[in-house]
Amino acid sequence: MSSSRNVKPPVFNPLTGAIRALAMDAVQKANSGHPGAPMGMAEIAEVLWRRHLRHNPANPKWADRDRFVQSNGHGSMLIYSLLHLTGYDLSIDDLKQFRQLHSKTPGHPEVGYTPGVETTTGPLGQGITNAVGMALAEKVLAAEFNRPGHTIVDHFTYVFLGDGCLMEGISHEACSLAGTWGLGKLIAFYDDNDISIDGHVSGWFTDDTPKRFEAYGWHVVRDVQGHDPVEIEAALKAAQAETGRPSLICCKTIIGAGAPNKQDSHDCHGAPLGAAEIEATRAHIGWPHGPFEIPADVYAAWDARAKGAAEEAEWNAHFAAYAAEYPELAAEFTRRMAGDLPADWQAHVDGVLAQVIDKAETIATRKASQNSIEAFAPKLPELLGGSADLAGSNLTLWSGAKGVSRTTGGNYVYYGVREFGMAAIANGVALHGGLVPYTATFLMFSEYARNALRMAALMKVRQIFVFTHDSIGLGEDGPTHQPVEQTASLRLIPNMDVWRPCDTTESAVAWAASIERRDGPSSLAFSRQNLPFQARSAEQVAAIRRGGYVLSEAGTASQPAAPQAVIIATGSEVALAMAAQQQLAAEGVAVRVVSMPSTNVFDRQDAAWRTSVLPKGLPRVAVEAGVTDGWHKYVGIDGEVIGVNRFGESAPAGELFKYFGITTEAVVAAVKKLVA
């Protein structure tokens, strides 16, 4: 069975038997799922969850709880079993609904569905990466809030992961950084069972994993017998004692341990064991109980409610003493862990906007973005910025930025060339609480981070993605760096708000709206080139938050005219639309200009607003330096869209806009065609 790998089989007992039984029973009832990982990691789970994990099942959001991430999310019945057994609000009936519609036990763990689940896992490698972010958040918050004699932020982040997580490239990005940052409160258990869906991994995964992690600067415990509680306990204590480095505990295990005919093979990886094998397993592990039956003494042995309540009560007493000595810090900590903004936030935003409008600057929106950060960050110490090696180009540094290092906290993270890792780490930071991350790269390289952006939207995390060099307008770097389809594709991600501001005012509003948003991420697309300031009334400034609004009406303020057509534009193309409006007016054609910095936000407005901005029956032209398909929902089948439906070229920006026909003249011609 496993002698070639020198794996010592488990000594079965009722505590681990409960995990194995619940996992195989739930998967069997659903006729879908992965029993192998829960059965193979039962001993590791018992040692961690019964003896070490600091958590309170009655309060899954306790600020200083240990975080637990099951990165091998396909083995979700492991965490569901643990949550149920230890006393979370997850009943046996919930386990019976495993993988069913609207259940609290979806196929992969999903944050927000199940009390005690810290992050959504399934796309392999992102769980461990989220965990790196959680450990980073713990480090940053501890440096900011802890004081001599008062340690209010002091918890571990534990991770279960498998071969699949380590094969994914994102694990390299994240774990390399974890070593560089010296995240000593991060402890990962590697379930080394030699099996993936296609069979034994020796044909495609022969890395010396311990050496790899030692090279990252991790503390590594090799060759732990993953079914031996004594060895697991010793390895875990050694990891907890290593405060200067993250730890990887390499556990040799047998997938599906306990299933006498299917263990140690891919047959138990992603399919139910089957009725016959389940009966054989019950006999083999000494579990004489029916499906979903857990004896009272087993429940009692697993129940963590009393211990968790006592641990939280002890922390509450410490926090009360901290609050007595440092009342302002305690109030700030409480505010930030609740995710609330300062009480005078709106007044601050109004003041910033007034200054922006007064300056009326013509600058690149990437510079306007930096100015927004400079204005908002001093008010929001929870902002944790960062960039994938382009801080000087995407302008995300500000005067108060302090880089996070191995020995210090800070408010800015230099992620290196790791777009995917950066985005997923920041997801973990957001999930931890107490910090609001923003991350940055060129818009083109959102492609590297794409699945982490999707996960941010799926999990509804509060993260701000800053993307600069937003079009062919970046110029000479050419088509490899020129985004064409990226803005459009980001708009297609459900629950992602995409903003493409046209000037300093829209940039500041986009930043404020993204900071305020608590139910999902935002992507901000900024220009490399200078864009002219657009004058607005107070009503128009307020309307920016609605995603789309009338920037310039047909005619003049003193002589309004009924519009004959509407031009819709975003970002750098708003200036083209405004110039086209003037030229058309001189030729006797009255048009309305609509700025639509966020189609996603505009689409959420009521029908009355949308119709007031885009009246029915008026011909429409849309202009944006990107693919055109998405704009037909606004202009209709008979409308015109001016854009770029091919890859770019290497040339100065001005030449490229002329070459691709993104010009005032093209907009004018399109309007004339429609109103003729």
Report whether 355 contacts 541 (CB < 8 A): no
Three-state DSSP class for residue 137: helix
Q: Is 510 within 8 Å of 465 (Cβ atoms)?
A: no
- Residues paired with residue 188 on neighbouring β-strands, in sequence order: 159, 248
Sheet hosting strand 565-569, strand order edge to edge: 549-552, 591-595, 565-569, 620-623, 640-642
Write the single-letter amino acid at 506: E
Q: Cα separation of 463 and 438, whole Å?
A: 6
Place of tokens 């070490």: 52
Convert 317-333 to b/e letters by CB count within 10 Å (16 or more is b): ebbeebbeebeebbebb
> Is 419 noted as a catalytic residue in this protein?
yes
In sequence order, the β-bridge partners of residue 621 are 567, 640
Which one is catalytic: 419, 506, 624, 640?
A: 419
Beta bridge mates, 363: 531
Q: Map residue 527 onto helix, strand or coil.
A: coil
Taking residue 401's Cβ as centre, other Cβ atoms within 10 Å add up to 18
Q: Indicate the burial class of 241 (C-beta count within 10 angstroms; 0-12, 13-18, 19 or more).
A: exposed
Spatial distance between the Cα atoms of 55 and 86, rounded to a whole number of angstroms: 10
The full 3-state SS of 476-509, as one line of letters, equals CCCCCCCCCCHHHHHHCCCCCEEECCCCHHHHHH
CA distance 671 to 589: 9
389 in Cβ contact with 396 (< 8 Å) = no
Q: Which residues pair with 423 in a beta bridge?
A: none
Report which of 90, 76, 64, 73 is spatially closest to residue 26, judged by C-alpha positions.
76
Q: Is the alpha carbon torsion for 667, 669, 673, 676 positive or negative?
A: positive
Catalytic residue set = 419
